[in-house]
A and B are shown apart, each in its own frame.
Chain A
Amino acid sequence: MTLAGKRKAVIGLTTLGGVIALWFLTTAVTGLVSGARFPSPAEFWTSLSQISGRGYAGATLLSHALHSLKLVAMGFAVAVLTGVPLGLWMGWSRRVEAFVNPVFLIIRPIPPLAWIPLAILWLGLGDAAKIMVIWFSAFVPSVINAFTGVRNIDRPVLEAARMLGTPRWRMVREVIAPAASPMIFTGLRLSLQASWTTLVAAELVGALVGVGFVLNMAQQDIYPGMILVGMLTVGVLGWATTVILAWIERRALAWNVAARD
């Protein structure tokens, strides 16, 4: 770790410690915030041990979390595997762009969460509906950024590849896709964020398992400790998947000067 990095870590830990101390002070020590509104650290701990051991809302925290993680992974994967190729194709071909763009202009302003009722109507309260909604929400940033990535490729780089006699498929794999990859990864980051937002919303509305379902149940049970457990679980999961994606990005874009800061 660099010196600046160390400093940043120290400052970060100090802030975190401060927030936790403030939490103790306002809830447990002074009782400024009542337990009915926000849990004290002890209540939070009780809720956490309850859901980790006996379980809550029909399952342990681990099964809820793994289930949510699985849905995000699947929805995100489907969105990326369909969105990135479509974006690349639209970027490469003006004709494809002309065909697809009108559809996009209509669908894009619809907030992804507005798809939830339709998805539940079609596919019920199970996994399929949630994967579909995640797909819709994560699809758009993947497409748009892959598209922009292709359109922003330096003309001489494309001309160099043509001059070298690069055949079409190799052009896509070895020139277009890597040249657009910094933008593609920007899209993936946005898609991942959108996936978590959409998943939690979908599970809040209708689910039988998952972190959003835990939140929903805890709200109905008026159980602030468990609400906090649910919120922090989503936070930790979202953070962990972002870190994994950033790690993949760093490895994939090792050639890219702009990404090495």
Chain B
Amino acid sequence: MGSISFRNVDKTFGAGAIKALEGINLEIADKEFVAIVGPSGCGKTTCLRMVAGFEAASSGDVLVNGKAVTAPGPDRAVVFQQFALFPWKTVRENIDLGLRNKNLPAAAREEAIAGALRLMSLESHADAFPHQLSGGMQQRVAIARAYVLDPVVLLMDEPFGALDAQTRVVMQEELVRLARRNPRTVLFITHAVEEAVYLADRVAIMTRRPGRIKEVLDIRTVRQSENWDSHPKIEDVMDLESFVHLRTHIWKSLREEKGFRDV
């Protein structure tokens, strides 16, 4: 079980100087994939950091499974934009740290690591150091490190933002496969509209600062009725009329927010 609730959440930084978020209300159901899009600086990362427990709300409540978030923990795994791997640990050791922290026996850890490596096609890189891997590979390690914790919610902050266009597409397709095969609650931050529509069950659109939720769009109903997941390639989905329609709607909505930078 891993629901996420934002209830009337405000966030102000630096003694009232910067009002980042205002009156955020959002309910994310267990095993639902929600993407947040919005102009840069609108407070997307701040939302995610409050669920992760790195940042506290100035007022209102951030709940996971009905309980207020107080500190970071392995029940809410984070995939950072800049990967945030431990460069002095090998791929295997990076994935292992969270398992060791859970005091799992060695055999169970071995099995979980092998599973995570297979899931992300990292088997042949298990003993490499992060600097020996490409950006896409490093982000696979970060995702494996998060997945292996078996978290109730997965928090991803522009995880593909630092990747080149081709790698990005591959990772998006893999994340879709992963999310459908092994569904869990995902809060996914992006400023790429297509990515949001392609991946998410619902897309929340935010206003510019102070960030508010402007609109929440249901994607899942369309995805299922139009059978998007039968197309293995992202470009085929992006060609469908139903996809184009949703994408254009979000574009227009964002365009109204001054200060939205084209991606």
Chain A positions within 8 Å of B, measured between CB atoms, are 154, 156-157, 159-167, 170, 174-175, 178-179, 181, 254-257
Query: Are A163 and B86 in contact (CB-based, < 8 A)?
Result: no
A165-B73, A165-B101 known; A178 vs B84 contact (CB < 8 Å)? no
The secondary structure that dominates the B interface is loop
One of B75-83, B109-117, B178-186, B225-233 at the interface: B75-83
Query: Are B84 and A166 in contact (CB-based, < 8 A)?
Result: no
CA distance A222 to B88 in the complex (A): 54
Chain A residues near B251 (CB-CB < 8 A)? none
CA distance A179 to B85 in the complex (A): 11
Per the CB 8 Å criterion, the residue count for chain B at the interface is 27
CA distance A167 to B78 in the complex (A): 18
CA distance A181 to B130 in the complex (A): 17
A185–chain B nearest beta-carbon distance, Å? 13
B78's partner among A160, A170, A179 (CB-CB below 8 A) is: A160
Known A159-B72, A159-B78; 14 more pairs at CB < 8 Å: A156-B80, A159-B54, A160-B145, A163-B74, A164-B74, A164-B97, A165-B102, A178-B88, A179-B88, A255-B88, A255-B129, A255-B131, A256-B87, A256-B131
How does the 8 Å CB contact mask read for B91-113 relative to A, with 1 for contact and 0 for none? 00000011011100000000000
> Which of B73, B84, B130 counts the most A-chain CB atoms under 10 A from its CB?
B84
Query: Are A163 and B78 in contact (CB-based, < 8 A)?
Result: yes
For residue B149, CB closer than 8 A to chain A, the reply is: yes
CA distance A69 to B88 in the complex (A): 32
Query: Are B84 and A157 in contact (CB-based, < 8 A)?
Result: yes
18 contacts between A and B (CB under 8 A): A157-B86, A159-B72, A159-B78, A159-B84, A160-B86, A161-B86, A163-B77, A164-B101, A165-B98, A165-B101, A166-B101, A181-B88, A255-B89, A255-B129, A255-B130, A256-B88, A257-B87, A257-B131
